[in-house]
């Protein structure tokens, strides 16, 4: 029979705000202050990947280390890693906002977070893993310094930035009132949007193609982003024309930005 225990996170939570789990092979479950209201999750890791899955639930569950979903494949030399499972996490809940941070003294590890489908997310990782989100419909903000970003069957609005890694997003629905942004320094941007989306789009890549199966109406103009201060003392005159493409989809709407320095930009119509 499993033993039930109560874990008080970090010792600095509000009085009585503890989380409950069963044995060490189960997720840490964080109750929400008001399960009837949408939750917000802030997950900031020093190292390690973040995976978020939306479910029909009224709390937040966190799985770490060896117990996180989708483990890495075993080593071919027969060796296996020994650790404590999570590398040290600080988890806090206050008024339906759950904050998950890495213990800076103990490093990190991969984290899987199970959330209600309509949660909003702010996810950040500095190094060591991919950030993925699936089946979540809320405001999603993702930043990954060294790793890919993958969003599948999400809804709402998205702001996603990777320094070194591709950004792939499949949106099954959108919040038509909000802008979105997808950017990376090194990697492709591959975004799938509902066929009836209405947006003003700006698209720029320094090294790569821009492709879409939407009927994008380009405005055909090159915009001046820097006049160089006008006529210089040596008699020269400098004007910089921005190579960003501007256009509209289905008549236009909120602004959607797509920016890659080294990689393709693909804007797909959801089938």
Q: What is the pLDDT of residues 148-196, one digit of tens each?
A: 999 999 999 999 999 999 999 999 999 999 999 999 999 999 999 999 9
Burial of 52 (0-12, 13-18, 19+ CB in 10 A): buried
State whether residue 139 is helix, strand or coil.
strand
Residues 229-232: contacts with CB under 8 Å, at least 24 apart: none
Nearest to 186 by CA among 139, 217, 246, 146: 146
Q: Name the range with the highest mean pLDDT among 5-19, 20-34, 171-185.
A: 171-185
Instruction: Give Rg (Cα) of the chain.
Output: 22
The arithmetic mean of pLDDT across residues 97-110, rounded, is: 74
Kindly tell me if the per-residue pLDDT of 210 is higher than 50: yes
**Per-residue pLDDT reduced to its tens digit, 105-136:** 555 578 999 999 999 999 999 887 899 999 99
């Amino acid at each position: 029979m499993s033993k039930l225990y109560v874990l008080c996170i970090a010792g600095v939570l509000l009085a009585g705000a503890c989380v409950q789990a069963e044995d060490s092979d189960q997720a840490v479950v964080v109750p929400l202050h008001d399960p009837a209201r949408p939750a917000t999750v802030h997950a900031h890791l020093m190292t390690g990947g973040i995976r978020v899955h939306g479910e029909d639930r009224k709390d937040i569950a966190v799985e770490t280390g060896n117990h996180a979903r989708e483990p890495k494949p075993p080593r071919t030399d027969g060796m296996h890693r020994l650790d404590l499972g999570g590398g040290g996490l600080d988890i806090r809940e206050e008024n339906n906002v759950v904050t998950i941070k890495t213990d800076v003294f103990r490093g990190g590890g991969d984290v899987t977070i199970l959330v209600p489908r309509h949660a909003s997310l702010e996810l950040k990782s500095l190094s060591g893993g991919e950030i993925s989100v699936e089946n979540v419909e809320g405001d999603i903000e993702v930043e990954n310094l060294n790793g890919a970003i993958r969003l599948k069957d999400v809804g709402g609005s998205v702001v996603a930035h990777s320094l070194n890694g591709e950004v792939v997003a499949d949106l099954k629905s959108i919040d038509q009132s909000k802008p979105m942004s997808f950017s990376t320094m090194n990697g492709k941007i591959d975004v799938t949007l509902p066929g009836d989306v209405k947006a003003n789009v700006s698209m720029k890549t320094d090294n790569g193609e821009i492709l879409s199966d939407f009927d994008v109406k380009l405005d055909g103009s090159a915009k001046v982003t820097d006049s160089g201060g006008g006529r210089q003392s040596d008699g020269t005159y400098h004007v910089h024309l921005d190579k960003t493409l501007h256009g509209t989809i289905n008549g236009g709407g909120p602004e959607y930005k797509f920016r890659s320095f080294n990689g393709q930009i693909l804007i797909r119509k959801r089938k």
